[in-house]
Amino acid sequence: MELKEIKIIIKRLYREHVKKYLNKIFLALFLSIVVAISTSGTAWLLDPAIKKIFIEKDQTLAWVIPIFIIITFSAKGISLYFARITVIKVGQRIGAELQKKIANKILAADIKTLDNRHSGKYISNIFYDAGAVINLVSTGVLNLMKDSFSLVALVGLMFYQNWKLALFAILMMPLAAFFAKSLGKRIGKVQGEASIKTGELVVLLTEIFKGAKMIRIFQKEEEETVKVDQIISKVTEKNIKISSILIRATPVMETLTGFMIAGFIFFSGKLINSGELELNNFFSFLTAMMLAYQPIRSLATINMTIFQGATAAKRIFLILDEPIETKDDFKFHDLKLNQCSIKFNNVNFHYSNTKEKAVKNINLEIKGGTVAAFVGHSGAGKSTIISLLPRFYEPQSGKIYIDNQDIHKVSLRSLRKSLSMVSQDIILFDDTVKANIAYANSKASDEEIVEACNFAAANEFIKKLPEGYNTIIGENGVKLSGGQKQRLSIARAILKKSPIILLDEATSSLDADSEEVVQNAISNLIKNKTTLVIAHRLSTIHNADQIFVLKNGTIIDSGSHDYLIEKSNEYKSLYQKQLKQV
């Protein structure tokens, strides 16, 4: 990352997040000045301590000077503690703000944006990248203030004690800074690589958790273990490299310090012998010089913290700056429902990863309160049509209407409020049965929840669970059967009481007995409601008011089941194939 880009990111971070905490930063700044004064004060006190106590044997000052030394150390410790606490709080709050922004962005983002990025990378952004920014704000800012002031105070003391020795020390200090800075650059680069590998590890572990059963049934445990080992080994290599670079600084700095002290003692000996420097000044100067090396090393390597934090902030800002195509526009009026009729007018759509249209020139009308089914081979465009209605995706051309209102010119909130969806991909949360159903309406009473479950044929099995409606069902309902999960999904849709229902192959993965129970529950759900159904089994849509036959993204036939059996070769072929399978 170039210096110009780092400056832009740091300025944005300051403008959007740090600026509001300036009062706390100034408090930490004041405390850093106290730390700097007390640090240099400790070195200065050695001057009168040696002269008055050890040389002149002043008994009064033998009590006074140690007390002042205790005061300076105490002042330094207390000030440093409160300075650190202050910037840590600021850093953590800024980190929390960024984490909340990422979470809110994920919740508001277009489905296509989420489709194009692995969830594990978002997790890495929330934890690893936000952590790097926290480190920049807390550790980086404090070190910059504290060590800068300490260095200025200590160098000032060195000049006060002897300007000739001070010039000698200052000439040597840039060498130490140069070595430390070069190491800092290398660490910054390696840490950036380590963060990428850590992100890859999070992605892989997420996949392993999701695919636990699939890994076992295909006996891929060893293969996945090798993948994990390889990535962890790469992360380990990067971390070892970071540590080795840090350790590499030790012999360089120690050797450099040895040369400096040797030269310093030689030069000091000359000055003491010539009467230009007294022994008490020498020890005070030596202490100040030794204390100055810690802030020099810290300031020289602070570019590492800045680089790491700026790189992490850049990744976060890339997420936050991703444009949202589908969002609520409050200037639009709410959807006004009457018959709940639906109309598609010349709708065309293709996914972002391909130019081939998923649906082409879709024209259809569905009367309010009727059931419309969509059939066709896999990839024909059925699920795409269903996904366009709640605006999960936006068509490239054409219009979609509900009760003659363009869905792109009504509020998104009111549009989605009118829709309920039951899909083959059931989403349940690691919470109680009651909480999962009440997700549709958090204000629903217990009686309303039980009523919804009765309609969904779910109440009977729920009562048999260990804690009934308060049973924790596990991640995505892992403790329930497929039919039970689907009935909870239907109960949730019933509780929402939406006038338009979207069913995306809701019974495709169920056995015959479960399908019959779920089909009865669905009948209760869709009664007197406008319903769009994607059916894998054509036997479940015999009674649909209208059936649309899709092929390669185009509607090629439509009508009732009896009409299509007689007139549509495609529908007849699909139906006969399923009869043979039965």
User: According to the model, what pLDDT value does residue 450 have?
Assistant: 92
Residue 477 has pLDDT above 70, yes or no: yes
pLDDT > 90 fraction of the chain, expressed in percent and rounded: 42
Q: Which fold has domain 339-418+500-509+524-582?
A: Rossmann fold (3.40.50)
Residues whose CB falls within 8 Å of the CB of residue 134, separated by 6 or more in sequence, listed in order: 91, 92, 94, 95
Residue 350 has pLDDT above 60, yes or no: yes
Q: What's the rounded Cα separation, in Å, for the pair 214 and 474?
A: 18
The whole-chain average pLDDT of the chain stands at: 86
User: According to the model, what pLDDT value does residue 435 have?
Assistant: 93
Q: What's the rounded Cα separation, in Å, for the pair 516 and 512?
A: 6
Q: Which CATH class is domain 3-320?
A: mainly alpha
Please tell me which of 34-43, 268-277, 424-433, 562-571 the model is most confident about, judged by mean pLDDT.
34-43
Q: What's the rounded Cα separation, in Å, for the pair 51 and 247?
A: 39
Residue 581 has pLDDT above 60, yes or no: no
Using an 8 Å Cβ cutoff, are 366 and 413 in contact?
A: no
- pLDDT tens sequence across 158-191: 999 888 888 887 876 676 667 666 665 676 677 7
Residue 283 has pLDDT above 80, yes or no: yes
Give start-end residues of each CATH 1.20.1560.10 domain in the chain.
3-320
User: According to the model, what pLDDT value does residue 169 have?
Assistant: 78
Give start-end residues of each CATH 3.40.50.300 domain in the chain.
339-418+500-509+524-582, 427-497
More confident residue, 403 or 125: 403
Q: What's the rounded Cα separation, in Å, for the pair 131 and 253?
A: 29
User: According to the model, what pLDDT value does residue 328 have?
Assistant: 83
User: According to the model, what pLDDT value does residue 100 have?
Assistant: 94
Q: Measured at the alpha carbon of residue 370, what is the angle toward residues 410 and 554, in degrees to the nearest 5? A: 75
Instruction: Check the CA dihedral 323-329-331-337 and report its sign.
Output: positive
Give me the residues paired with residue 410 across strands: 333
Using an 8 Å Cβ cutoff, are 308 and 135 in contact?
A: yes
Give me the residues paired with residue 140 across strands: none
Q: List C-alpha distances in Å: 39 to 32, 60, 159, 360.
A: 10, 24, 16, 75
User: According to the model, what pLDDT value does residue 195 have?
Assistant: 74
The answer to which of 22-36, 157-171, 309-323, 461-475 has the lowest mean pLDDT is 157-171
Residues whose CB falls within 8 Å of the CB of residue 537, separated by 6 or more in sequence, listed in order: 507, 508, 515, 578
Q: Which amino acid is at 514?
A: S
Q: Calculate mean pLDDT across residues 262-274.
A: 87
Nearest one of 514, 512, 490 to 502, comparing CA atoms: 490
Which pLDDT band holds residue 377 (cuts at 50, 70, 90)? confident
Using an 8 Å Cβ cutoff, are 181 and 303 in contact?
A: yes
Q: List C-alpha distances in Å: 395 to 52, 539, 557.
A: 87, 31, 22
Q: What are phi and psi of 365, to 5 degrees?
A: -135, 135
User: According to the model, what pLDDT value does residue 582 have?
Assistant: 45
Question: In the block, which residue shows the tokens 């092929």?
Answer: 551
Q: Is 546 helix (H, G, I), strand (E, B) or coil?
A: strand
- The CATH number fitting domain 427-497, selected from 3.40.50.2300, 2.40.10.10, 3.40.50.300, 2.30.30.30: 3.40.50.300
User: According to the model, what pLDDT value does residue 286 have?
Assistant: 87
Using an 8 Å Cβ cutoff, are 46 and 53 in contact?
A: no
Q: Which amino acid is at 290?
A: M
Q: What's the rounded Cα separation, in Å, for the pair 201 and 467?
A: 37
User: According to the model, what pLDDT value does residue 60 have?
Assistant: 82
Q: Calculate mean pLDDT across residues 45-57.
A: 86
Q: Calculate mean pLDDT across residues 34-54.
A: 90
Using an 8 Å Cβ cutoff, are 400 and 362 in contact?
A: no
β-pair type (500-504, 419-423): parallel
Can you give the C-alpha Rg of the chain in angstroms? 35
Q: What's the rounded Cα separation, in Å, for the pair 54 and 205?
A: 66
Question: In the block, which residue shows the tokens 């399923």?
Answer: 578
Q: What are phi and psi of 408, to 5 degrees?
A: -85, 0
- Pull the structure tokens for residue 41: 């004060």
Residue 130 has pLDDT above 50, yes or no: yes
Residue 519 has pLDDT above 90, yes or no: no
Q: Is 479 helix (H, G, I), strand (E, B) or coil?
A: coil
